[in-house]
Amino acid sequence: MTLDDLTTPCLVLDLAVLKRNLALMEAAVARHPGLRLRPHLKTAKSREVARLAAPGFGPITVSTLAEARYFAEGGWRDQIYAVGITPQKLDAVAALNAAGAAVKVITDDVEAARAIAAHPGRVDALAEVDVGEARGGVALDSPVLPEIAAALGKRLAGVISHSGHSYGGRTIEDMAAIAEAERLGIVTAAERLRAAGHAVPIVSLGSSPTAMHAARMDGVTEVRAGVYMFGDLFQAQLHTHPAEDIAVMVLASVIGRRPERNTLLLDAGALALSKDRSTQAAPRDWGFGRVVGPDGSPLPGEPMVARAYQEHGEVHSDAPLPFDRLPIGARLRVVPNHTCLTAAAHDRYHVVDGGTEVIAVWDRVNGW
């Protein structure tokens, strides 16, 4: 079977690119002796990808209870469920742990920490610290941090931070500076809790750009990153991976031709691509995705999906589109702005290995 045999729109994963991106991150992490990579599976949501990114059932990060269950049943025991836990979700986590998993949760709330410690099942937790993103996490100098640690008691597994504000950086130097600020922050938090008598075995930080470009990782035990596996048009502009190494694309068909307006309609719209507009804030704005040829090669004028309706994507280009090669039904690929969002619209990957032959179909665990 080749890509030509697939019904569009559908998701294509290039194994060759995935492997290059994994090797690049592994090399980046290996620069720091003793540092462990805990890949975040929120982007891939696939056991087959996890076999490559976290081989030997290595430690992973997940973003939903559905992922935690799917990966635990697949053999990945050591997990961090890295979205603030609620007391209501503890039963589900404890059930996974009772069945052999070691799913750790995160919290930045004293009451939630008390609920974790009081739960009859075993659920260890990391205290979430804000290192500058201003999303979740307690401030470094907040009296709440030692209160959370005290409330967790022997359930305290460590400290965790996320440097999502690295997405606001633009240069490799920006990423290195944000990474160092994050490192200083999370290490300070760990030291603060150790000084109060707590064991803090896990000191966890991350984001793909900072994991790739951090200069130092002293005091950090593990780094989390997810989108680096596939990459996308936004991450490429954050220097997480080479611009050409985007592993996931949406295969689409031409369903409308407007030579007089130099536009095409594709059967990949807002549902198949998502309405993510990450690149709007980047040096190069790709609309709702970059349009390339059926084999992934660039097209003249660098067309993009400029408008996204539910099932229609309207393609605009700076050069005349090659209408003679683009009848109704012709295939093109759309490279995503933000792979996490685009992939989530699809329930499987059609896997190629650098070519157009479909060598496998891999499932995904969507939803919650």
> Where do contacts with its own copies occur on this chain (CB under 8 A)?
7-10, 42, 63-65, 83-89, 92, 107-109, 111-112, 134-136, 164, 253-257, 261, 265, 267, 270-272, 274-277, 307, 309-312, 314, 327-329, 340-341, 344-347, 366-368
- For the CB of residue 56, give the shortest distance to its own copies in the complex, in Å: 27
User: What tokens does 133 get?
Assistant: 């993103």
The Cα-based distances of 176 to 21, 112, 165 in angstroms read: 19, 33, 12
Contact 97, 103 (CB under 8 A): yes
DSSP 262: T
- For the CB of residue 336, give the shortest distance to its own copies in the complex, in Å: 12
- For the CB of residue 143, give the shortest distance to its own copies in the complex, in Å: 13
Q: How many residues does the chain have?
A: 368
Question: Of the two residues 127 and 272, which places its CB atom closer to its own copies in the complex?
Answer: 272
For the chain, what is the radius of gyration of the CA atoms?
22
- For the CB of residue 79, give the shortest distance to its own copies in the complex, in Å: 15
- For the CB of residue 327, give the shortest distance to its own copies in the complex, in Å: 6
Q: Round to whole Å and give the CA distance between 223 and 204.
A: 6
Question: Of the two residues 64 and 356, which places its CB atom closer to its own copies in the complex?
Answer: 64
Question: Of the two residues 35 and 361, which places its CB atom closer to its own copies in the complex?
Answer: 361
Question: Of the two residues 176 and 232, which places its CB atom closer to its own copies in the complex?
Answer: 232
Contact 303, 258 (CB under 8 A): no
Residues 260, 266, 267, 271, CA torsion sign: negative
Question: Of the two residues 63 and 221, which places its CB atom closer to its own copies in the complex?
Answer: 63
Residues 323, 329, 333, 339, CA torsion sign: positive
